[in-house]
Amino acid sequence: HAAPARMTDTAPFRRIQVIDSHTGGEPTRVVVGGGPDLGLGPLAERRERFQQQCDVFRSLVVNEPRGSETLVGALLCAPSDPTCAAGVLFFNNIGPIGMCGHGAIGLTITLAHLGRIEPGRFRLETPVGVVTVDYLGDQRATIENVASYRCRAAVPVEVPGRGPITGDIAWGGNWFFLCADHGQALEAENVAELTAFCWQVRHALMAAGITGHGGQPIDHIELFGPPRDPANQSRNFVLCPGGAYDRSPCGTGTSAKLACLHASGQWQPGAIWRQESILGSVFEAAFRLDGPALIPRITGSAYITAESVLLLDPRDPFQAGF
């Protein structure tokens, strides 16, 4: 007797294997099979190729109907740097991003879940530099991020309908505008208003021609306020480039924060900064100095939420996501 027909017998599905996790509430989807081959060469070049040639792949992995605007994708690649164990390209609902702290922690816990790593250290190549990862066991990892720095301090910007605010511009693997005089309540119940406010700030920066180094767009807006838990130093709200807010304290944003604190003489090497997210999840952060370079270390926990196979049905009008 012939085996009963299954759905997979009736359509040539393409299959993409993924593992999902969350780091402090912020999800990461690691592509472990079925992803595009971007060839070899520096990760920054492969990121360009990914942007030019794989946008449909990016969208179908992270966007609806398989994902959501808050999901960050991670494509594992062969490293070009022989000192690295792996390379990774991070991407979100609108395009690739340089580095992702919560994503690197999620990737580490995913590799441990797969049995590919044991507690210890490895180096991870990203398009913006090499990150050193310590897998600590027990769902925890520390990321030693790329060198981070403050580019400009106390930059004024007029936000239409809101008034003037000031903020620092800093690099932490992505570009951030970090603002404390926003007048907003950093409460989870207020995320719709916080999102609208940060979106306006971002557009005000663009309209005023305020950028990071080399004219790079400032695509992350980070608001600070007092922590809810007195064990922490600060609470934040971070708006990501595609309009979703970071549920975690944002690893690259916390790196940018450390750079600003150090530049203004407010935080010293080795001292622990506990950054609380809008959900109350916490990253423990510190930095060391390597000559003039400030190297942040971010520690957090991630948990596996799914092992899945994404199916692409050529008959599906929304197979590329939306």
> Which residues sit at the interface with ligand PYC, rule CB under 6 A?
26, 72, 100-102, 240, 246, 248, 250-252
Name which of 117 and 298 has its Cβ closer to ligand PYC: 298
Residue closest to 239 by CA, chosen among 124, 70, 65, 51: 70
* Nearest CB to ligand PYC, comparing residues 212 and 319: 212
| Residue 92 C-beta: closest distance to ligand PYC, Å | 7
Strand partners of residue 25:
none
Q: Which is nearer to ligand PYC, 35 or 251 (CB)?
A: 251
Q: Which residue has the tokens 């600590």?
A: 136
Residue tagged 């922590």 (tokens) = 227
> Got the DSSP string for 114-169?
TTS--SEEEEEEETTEEEEEEEEETTEEEEE-S-BEEEEEEEEEEETTTEEEEEEE
Catalytic residue flag (residue 250):
yes
Query: DSSP of 194-218, one letter per residue?
Result: HHHHHHHHHHHHHHTT--SGGG---
Give me the helix-helix angle, 55-62 and 43-53, nearest 10°. Answer: 80
- Minimum CB distance to ligand PYC, residue 298 (Å): 8
Looking at 77, 179, 240, 250, which residue is catalytic?
250
State in angstroms the smallest separation of the CB of 286 from ligand PYC.
16
Q: How far is CA 35 from CA 7, 14, 27, 66, 166, in A?
A: 22, 10, 19, 15, 42
**Amino acid at position 141, single letter:** A
Among 277, 294, 200, smallest CA distance to 233 is for 277
Give me the least distance between CB of 50 and ligand PYC, in Å please: 17
Given the residues 54, 77, 84, 100, the one annotated as active site:
100
- Closer CB to ligand PYC, residue 79 or residue 251? 251
Q: C-beta of 7: minimal distance to ligand PYC in Å?
A: 35
- With respect to ligand PYC, which residue has the nearer C-beta, 29 or 102? 102
Tell me which residues are annotated as active site: 100, 250
